[in-house]
Structures are given as structure tokens and as C-alpha cells.
Structure 1
Amino acid sequence: MTREPPAPPDDETAGRDNGNAAGKTYPVEEGARRLRKSRAWYLRQLRAGLLPGHRAGRTWFLTERDIDQALEQTAQPANGSPPSATEALGQSSAQKLTQAAGLSRRQRRHRLPPPAG
């Protein structure tokens, strides 16, 4: 009996149509390049749940839709003044951001507005 060779890892199929419903997949480097950010920054955002992406084992990959959504989420207004964290990300995402930044509960309480309701 002969065994079939294992399927190639995700890195080798990145940027190709792999036959799934989502279409092409891209490595994190491609998403970071299109957002003009570093790979490390993009990975931190993915791990914190602030940007869309998919994970297979230890490898993250992105679809065209994930990259487009990330571009929309990180877009800044034309006047050059970036929105505050709570405006850009919403209350729950802003809380995730501060928790991911390693702030204590007291520090978060002083930096974020009180919850609505």
C-alpha cells in the first residue's frame, strides 16, 4: 500500500483559490501590507478579536472579505483626526482593546466612559 502525500500547509496555498466557499485565502502579511501595518500589529488585532480572520491550528489566514472589513474598520476620516477608541470600535471592542493592552480594572474604569443603560 502506498500512502498519499500530506496536503500542503496553508502558507503554500495562500493567495490561491482553494475551492472553498470563501474563495482565495491570504496570509496575514498580505492583510498587513494592505493596511500599511506590521505583521505583528495585525496578529495582535486578530488575537484580540478586533479584526476579522480565520485560524487553522496556529496559522491565521484571511479572505478578501476579511481584508475589506479590516480596511473599513481601521479607516480614518479625511480631516486627519483619528476617532477615539470608543467611537471607532464601539464600547465592547474598546473594552477588549484596553484589556488586551494589559490595563488593570481601575485603569480601564478611568479611561473608558461608563456603560450606557
Structure 2
Amino acid sequence: MASPDALRGHVDAMLLSVLSDGPVHGYGAIERIRARSGGELDFPSGTVYPALKRLERRGLIEGEWEAAGRSKRVYRLTPAGERSLAEQRSEWALTASLITRVLGAARA
């Protein structure tokens, strides 16, 4: 399982990624991350909800209250969020490649 320190700074990108699958409420985002990670990542709501608020303040997602049954706030990506996700995916690919090259290098 990945350490919390290794995940720090990547929660926002993971939330944007699961929102790219379509609108979802906060707990649904937690479930999507859990499912995508094969159960390895199980973020507490105390991590996810502040991150959703932060992404909303930055204009990367927008939320609206859904009144069906119990009231829930449903979030969706904005065009700015889609652009940010594309940039973060590209940056992650470069970073992961670099780290893999360094960590995977055999000692001579």
C-alpha cells in the first residue's frame, strides 16, 4: 500500500480523474478511487471534502445540490478542470518515468 506521504499532493488530480467519469457526490468519488485502486486507497471524508471545496474554489469543478432523497452535493468537471487534468496527467507521466528510471537503475 502506498504511504500517505507518497500520495500527498496527488489527491486533487485523483479527484479530477474520477470526476472525468461523470458527475458524482463526495462519497461516490471516494468509492471510485477505492474501486480504481483495487481497494488499496480508501481516503477519509476529511481528506476528500476539503479537496472538493478547494477544487471548486479554483473553478476546476462545480457542484450543485441534488435534492433527490437526502440532499447531496454533486460535482462535475469544468472545462478548466478538464484542461488541468490533462496537464496533471502529462506531468505525472513524466515524473513517474523519471523516478522509475532512477529507482530501476541497476548498480554497476
Same fold (TM over 0.5): no
TM, length-normalised to structure 2: 0.23
Between Structure 1 and Structure 2, which shows a larger proportion of helix residues?
A: 2
With a CA cutoff of 8 Å and minimum separation of 6, indicate the structure with the bigger relative contact order: 2
- Tell me the TM-score normalized by structure 1: 0.22
Larger Rg: 1
